[in-house]
Structure 1
């Protein structure tokens, strides 16, 4: 009886930890929507060339998620996880007011 309980506990722990990993991987594949509350607060736009320059005067041509320090994708990725949005995907050509040039 003890061994079957021990096996059950080990299996349950393994299942629970795999669920946690799945949720983390899922967060990285979910794209940020412009209607997301955080995205709206930061003026996220999926295409930096369409940023309202009157509203976001800090925006400068050439700024995009791909060259922001918070972008976690590779240089040639079309989208990648962003630290600002909890690992959700942002467009490489997108922009938000949290933009900080990569060092």
Structure 2
């Protein structure tokens, strides 16, 4: 596990502790790819549309639904993510903060 993943996990845990899960679930606002945080993390609603040259660690099998930060059920089309407080990410989406669900 590298430093970036540890920092992102810590940030996610802090957001969750501060009520990020409830806020994101209740809001139901779709995260737009043009959102500044989404842009900075390379978020795409469809993992197949990720620029693999820009994000060489991306794999087609990675998606938000399989990420530790995804706060929904595996069947949920969208769910909250503590990195995008108050916004819903697509189950089939991806960002550079992706961490395999344990």
Smaller-chain TM-score range?
A: 0.7 to 0.9
Instruction: Name 1:89's counterpart in structure 2.
Output: 88
Q: What TM-score do the two structures reach when normalised by structure 2?
A: 0.73
Moved over 4 A (4+): none
Query: RMSD of the TM alignment (CA)?
Result: 1.5
1:102 deviates by 0.5
Q: Return 5+ residue gaps in structure 1 as ranges.
A: 1-23
Where 2:79 maps in the other structure, the secondary structure is strand
Following the alignment from structure 1 to structure 2, what is the Cα–Cα distance between the partners of residues 25 and 41? 19
Are residues 1:29 and 2:28 paired? yes
Q: What TM-score do the two structures reach when normalised by structure 1?
A: 0.73
The structure whose Rg is larger is 1
Instruction: Name 1:50's counterpart in structure 2.
Output: 49
Where 2:65 maps in the other structure, the secondary structure is helix
When the two structures are aligned, how many residues end up with a matched partner?
80
Task: Map 1:1-103; keep pairs closer than 5 Å.
Answer: 24=23, 28-103=27-102
Following the alignment from structure 1 to structure 2, what is the Cα–Cα distance between the partners of residues 78 and 31? 11
Is 1:46–1:91's contact at 8 Å kept on the other side of the alignment? yes
1:58 deviates by 1.1
Shift in CA distance, 54/94, structure 1 to aligned 2, threshold 3 Å = same
Q: Return 5+ residue gaps in structure 2 as ranges.
A: 1-22
Where 2:82 maps in the other structure, the secondary structure is coil
